[in-house]
Chains A and B, each alone.
Chain A
Amino acid sequence: MYPDQFEFHRADSVSEAVELLADNPDAELIAGGHSLLPTMKSGLASPDALVDISDLDGLSGVERNGEVTHLGAMTTYATVADDDDLWEDATVVAEAASQVGDRQVRNRGTVGGNIAHADPASDLPAAMLAANATVHVHGPDGERSVEIDDFFQGMYATAAGEEGVVTGIDVPEEGENTASAYVKKPAPASGYALVGVAARLTFDGDEVTDARIAANGVMDHGTRLPAAEDAIEGESVDADAVAVAGDAAGDSLDEYMVMEDQQASQEFRLQLLSAYTERALETVGERAGHM
């Protein structure tokens, strides 16, 4: 399986990459290549040109300033999942990265590529939503920051647009009173998320004062679950409250938009959503010492 012919450009800077993309509507950025190359090999995508950003200094690596952890777009899942400090500071992101694909995939795939590609069954979107991340995008009109809640727009569609380069992601550090988790039901064949739930809870004593809960694999893009958030806020994380929040998980979603394919019906996906929302909340509760 060979991809179709294409021209290959290695960008020397982000601005050059942005220009190359703007000049050629049929050009695609290549980061880790672990979504793009498989689609090109199977003939589902045939870009005229690839713009490689993998050699750009400053696009990969983890930096922290005490408030946020900055993940360069080209940082691999392996780097993120091996970062002990990130397991402390933003558990949900490290945990989601550790569950992507397999070892070889994690050595190559990138955090920027994951969210820019916005596959509905990817692992990072819900984790970034729960972590309340900010995405840095460099486009033809310059640089901008996008709140994660505004980033995912649909299947394979994001606020970065066709010509925007995601340059990095800022993940706020969880304070002492915050804990988080990502739990996933992998699709049996592909390993992608059939359903994955990310949760981050902030506590005042036993009481949840703020909840961010989001799901992968259920809608056409990673999606917050406001009904589950409302159900757990103001409660303590005990078995009853967790069950109520799990039941509520699907309530805020447009039911006709819930994904359905040969792997799972809408009904089964919603059942998984409830069960995995409960698991995510239980895990956070345990980590916070409340269960």
Chain B
Amino acid sequence: MERTIELTVNGTDHQVTVEPRTLLIHALRDEMGYTGPNVGCESSVCGACTVHVDGEAVKACTELAVRAEGSEVTTIEALGDEDDMHPLQESFQEEHGLQCGYCTPGMVMTAAVFLEEEPDPDRAEIREALEGNLCRCTGYQNIVNAVESAAAEMAGAVEPATDGGTAVEEGGD
């Protein structure tokens, strides 16, 4: 029943042998050692497992590894490292966009494709984009701040937008 599939993860070609029922998240974490994406709810809701499959944000707990054959998968590990962080990783740190950090890899991966499509989002659009990512610690305010400030940073703005964090907002998650 097992089959060997080929896929690219963070630019590296992999061959991995999996059962048809192996979920992409388990193949990434347990077979290939990419432990950046987390397993949270296991039921397609929390987004902690979000990775990019061929450039799109996907919940890796809701995809079969065999269906990722031939795909290019990107995990949080590829976004940046301690010495060379992605603007989103920096802004999550600066804006206190995380506490326990469990949701963060998924948040950042969803935000990363979102900012490619929408480089200058307003706060409502950021909340809407992160609808599929749950955080049990921060209350979201600082996560929205982080994405907003990363957008400004990536757009080359002189002043990072860190001013929006105190107003009470409608429509929390």
Contacts and interface: CB of A to CB of B under 8 A. Distances in A.
Interface of A: 1-8, 30, 33-34, 37-38, 40-42, 50, 52, 54, 78, 101-105, 107-108, 191
A5 B22 CA distance: 9
B20 A1 contact: no
Interface residues of B, number: 29
Interface of B: 1, 3, 19-23, 26, 42-44, 47, 50, 56-59, 61-64, 66-67, 110, 114, 129, 131-133
B43 A108 contact: no
A24 to B, nearest CB: 14
Contacts of A54: 67
Nearest to B134: A102
Contacts of A108: 58-59, 62-63
Given A54-B67, A102-B132, A42 B20 contact: no
Nearest to B26: A2
Contacts, number: 76
B42 A8 contact: no
Contacts of B57: 103-104, 107
A144 to B, nearest CB: 29
A50 B47 CA distance: 25
Contact of A42 (B21, B43, B50, B64): B43
Given A5-B20, A105-B132, A38 B1 contact: no
Nearest to B114: A103
A2 B61 CA distance: 10
Contacts of A4: 21
Contacts of A104: 47, 50, 57-59, 110, 132
B55 to A, nearest CB: 10
A1 B21 CA distance: 10
Contacts of B63: 33, 37, 108
